[in-house]
């Protein structure tokens, strides 16, 4: 099958994670993976991002499929349930809001910069080695540490799910996937109502 440029976006996802070990400010680039899927689903009403352009989903396919790191089992039914997917999305958004609040506290001077990456919302890993050499406002750095924590945590969860189940099982409960699916469903409903 003919390969397209977007079939290699998994390399970009991998590079993103590696760059976070060298300079935490690269974490800001992860916002692209936040806004582009939402914009594509709002504009087109489709999950084109997930189906074509998501480097992270591709990374799980490559590691779990090509490299055989997945047991290939079916994901349990409860993880497919609406309750779990939306519950996880709500939890994810609350933790994201918490990260934004921490950034605000540093911006306002109420808190000082914490050069740590928090893995799985629990484990604080010292990450001073990735502090930027150039002077960047503390809140800019704090957001980068927080956002990288989100990206690393979701990747680790995705890798665990990949090993235990089928390679792209993370996509079943990925918050971005749940949000874009909800947008597509809303758009499809609106179209149906208009044509009814």
- Name the residues that contact ligand SF4, by CB under 6 A: 37, 50, 54, 56-57, 170-171, 174, 176-177
Instruction: Please give, one letter per residue, the 3-state secondary structure of 55-77.
Output: HHHHHHHHHHHHCCCCCCCCCCH
Q: How far is CA 163 from CA 60, 62, 89, 157, in A?
A: 9, 12, 22, 10
First to last CA, the chain: 40
Minimal distance, residue 151 CB to ligand SF4, in Å: 11
Closer Cβ to ligand SF4, 90 or 129, answer by number: 90
Minimal distance, residue 107 CB to ligand SF4, in Å: 29
Minimal distance, residue 189 CB to ligand SF4, in Å: 21
Minimal distance, residue 105 CB to ligand SF4, in Å: 29
Closer Cβ to ligand SF4, 85 or 127, answer by number: 85
Q: d(Cα 68, Cα 123) in Å, to the nearest integer?
A: 29
Minimal distance, residue 160 CB to ligand SF4, in Å: 14
Closer Cβ to ligand SF4, 65 or 132, answer by number: 65
Q: d(Cα 25, Cα 131) in Å, to the nearest integer?
A: 8
Residue in 92, 98, 67, 60 with CA at minimum distance from that of residue 179: 92
Closer Cβ to ligand SF4, 48 or 116, answer by number: 48
Asked if 154 and 12 touch (Cβ cutoff 8 Å), the reply is no
Closer Cβ to ligand SF4, 25 or 174, answer by number: 174
Residue nearest to ligand SF4 (CB): 177
């Amino acid at each position: 099958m003919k390969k397209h440029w977007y079939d290699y976006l998994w390399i970009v996802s991998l590079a993103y994670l590696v760059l976070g070990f060298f300079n935490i400010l690269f974490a800001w680039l992860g916002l692209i993976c936040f806004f582009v899927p939402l914009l594509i689903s709002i504009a087109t009403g489709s999950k084109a991002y997930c189906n074509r352009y998501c480097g992270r989903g591709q990374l799980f396919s490559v590691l779990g499929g090509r490299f055989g790191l997945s047991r290939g089992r079916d994901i349990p039914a409860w993880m497919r349930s609406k309750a779990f997917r939306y519950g996880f999305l709500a939890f994810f958004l609350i933790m994201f809001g918490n990260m934004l609040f921490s950034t605000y506290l540093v911006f306002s001077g109420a808190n000082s910069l914490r050069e740590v990456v928090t893995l799985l919302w629990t484990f604080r890993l010292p990450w001073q080695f990735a502090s930027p050499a150039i002077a960047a406002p503390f809140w800019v750095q704090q957001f980068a540490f927080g956002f990288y924590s989100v990206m690393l945590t979701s990747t680790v969860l995705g890798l665990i799910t990949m090993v235990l189940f089928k390679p792209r099982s993370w996509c079943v409960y990925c918050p971005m996937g749940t949000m874009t699916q909800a947008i597509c469903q809303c758009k499809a409903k609106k179209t149906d109502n208009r044509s009814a």
